[in-house]
Structure 1
Amino acid sequence: MATILVVDDELGIRALLSEILSDEGHTIELAENAAQARAARERSRPDLVLLDIWMPDVDGVTLLKEWGGAGLLTMPVIMMSGHGTIDTAVEATKFGAIAFLEKPITLQKLLRAVEQALVKTAPPRPAPVAPGLPSYARTEPAAGPSLGMSAAPSGHSAGSLAGHLPASHHGNALTSEQTFELDRPLREARDAFEKSYFEFHLAKENGSMTRVAEKTGLERTHLYRKLKQLGVDLSRNKRGAGS
């Protein structure tokens, strides 16, 4: 995960971006003006800066120029503005910004821009090679879990169904095999499925409520309410937990 400096004179914007990016596992530094941004950049050496253009003392483009001229533009910078124009975006790019986000910033655009910025600046990592195979035999990423039902294997009663429905999280591995008892009221069977469904996504996204909300198509408030109703244990899916 990365250290991200958010520079914006609006408290609400700083709080919102901090919440979203912290939920993604990043360390967030906050600054409300250019002076604080300079100090934070020197102190934390961020991996990425989200920089507002319109600020009361020194505007974001001027600060961007300052960093570039002093050789301090060692991290990617994404500019933000609610009043920006194409000319402003082009100017910011010319002076070293790698992207421009227009306010109000949507969740999808924010996460995509941050991910792309960090990927571009991350050092390349060699692809893993399976033992005993030549160097050109690269391992392929495992396919995502299937949501298709399979026939119940031998050993399962006619009242149960073993499907590729992700549920459990053992260590750092996700298991996609889960048995559902069908000989029960519809509501109970549905709740069991939904609990397994959400537990899988929480494990897959390392407890990130933002990612799970995006993947499942639910608002965060609705998602929290749903997980509480189903009795999903959120603590074991938090980043850094011992699970």
Structure 2
Amino acid sequence: MANILVVDDEMGIRELLSEILGDEGHVVQLAENAQQAREARTQSRPDLVLLDIWMPDTDGVTLLKEWQRDGLLTMPVIMMSGHATIDTAVEATRIGALNFLEKPIALQKLLKAVQQGLTRNVEVARPIVPVARMNVSEVHNSIVASTQFSTTAPSSTSYETRDFSMGNHMHQNSQHSFNNLSFDLPLREARDAFERIYFEYHLHREGGSMTRVAEKTGLERTHLYRKLKQLGVESVKYGKRGE
């Protein structure tokens, strides 16, 4: 779940985007002009902003420049417009916008852009540890660490992050699985064992939603179903949140 700010002077678009994103489990704030957007940015520190270009008081590109100038562009911003030119889209991207959506916005394009933005928002650079010198416990600790994102205040050049740790129960199951994973296994068996842990982790994290797991893992749903069946992973036990 993320905190998303929608800035658009058209009430119908604000309400539509709020409904769609709310159904996806996000908390949505609405602003109808640049001044309201400034206040919301200061008060709630959104994880992502959907920003319309053409607004009556201050246009979206000008507001984007303002945030960039003042060091406030610490979250992904997706620009929206039904009348912008290619030059405008290029300028917004150059300033720091992550993406550009043309109105009317297709549902799949919207959800994909939002997902990409939120994924970018939680990326944290981590040191690379030479694999040859890592034992099983170290491999486990490295992978678990990659799911726990910093909640410290960001610099002006990095996106704000949120904590997405899995919880003690999943952590213990993951640790147990990794500690029992032997590097002495034949490659195919070791790969199957790792993939089983990998998919169980994503199923737990996404509440059993096959749609979300497919997006996270980059697999088509049909391929994902076949893969889970092959590995003996039961997706039902993770409880579906709705797809």
What is the TM-score with the length of structure 2 in the denominator? 0.59
Quick one: percent identity of the two aligned structures? 65
Q: C-alpha displacement at 1:134, in angstroms?
A: 6.2
Matched, 1:145 2:225: yes
Q: 1:134 to 1:33 in 2, by over 3 A?
A: farther
Distance in structure 1 (CA, Å) of the matches to 2:91 and 2:41: 22
- Note the 1:117-128 alignment, pairs <5 A: 117-124=117-124, 126-127=142-143
Distance in structure 2 (CA, Å) of the matches to 1:15 and 1:127: 39
Residue in 1 that maps onto 2:40: 40
Residue in 2 that maps onto 1:67: 67
Q: Name the amino acid aligned to 1:38.
A: R
Q: C-alpha displacement at 1:132, in angstroms?
A: 3.3
Q: C-alpha displacement at 1:120, in angstroms?
A: 1.4
Larger helix fraction of residues? 2
RMSD of equivalent CA atoms = 2.8
Residue in 1 that maps onto 2:85: 85
The number of residues matched between the two structures is 158
Q: Name the amino acid aligned to 1:34.
A: A
Secondary structure (helix, strand or coil) at the match of 1:22 reads helix
Secondary structure (helix, strand or coil) at the match of 1:144 reads helix
Residue in 1 that maps onto 2:181: 133
Q: C-alpha displacement at 1:169, in angstroms?
A: 5.0
Secondary structure (helix, strand or coil) at the match of 1:50 reads strand
Unaligned runs of 5+ in 2: 127-141, 145-174, 184-189, 200-222, 227-231
Secondary structure (helix, strand or coil) at the match of 2:113 reads helix
Which protein is bigger by CA-based radius of gyration?
Answer: 1
What is the TM-score with the length of structure 1 in the denominator? 0.59
Q: C-alpha displacement at 1:48, in angstroms?
A: 0.3
Residue in 2 that maps onto 1:157: none
Q: Name the amino acid aligned to 1:127.
A: I
Unaligned runs of 5+ in 1: 147-163, 175-202, 213-243
Q: Name the amino acid aligned to 2:34.
A: A
Residue in 2 that maps onto 1:154: none
